[in-house]
Amino acid sequence: MAMIFALGRMDVLPLADIGLQRAVERFYGGARSPQRLQELGETWRPWRTVAAWYLWRDLDPVPVAY
């Protein structure tokens, strides 16, 4: 999380993050294992942080106003 939010890195994929695992399971089906995330993450390169952020945001039940 520090690499994403504090350092602003755009190509970080937090494989152990439970929220990301749940979102991948919801949208892509199948197991929510780190191996599955790694496979999907390769298709999102070099914007894996952005993909993770969109997946996290979609899990929120209430829309966020920026």
Domains in the chain, CATH or no CATH each: 2-59 (1.10.1670.40)
> Quick check: 17 and 25 in contact, CB under 8 A?
no
> Quick check: 60 and 24 in contact, CB under 8 A?
no
pTM for the model: 0.77
Residue with token string 């994929």: 13
Predicted pLDDT at 32 = 80
Sign of CA dihedral 56, 59, 60, 65: positive
Q: pLDDT digit string (tens) for 18-34?
A: 989 999 999 888 778 88
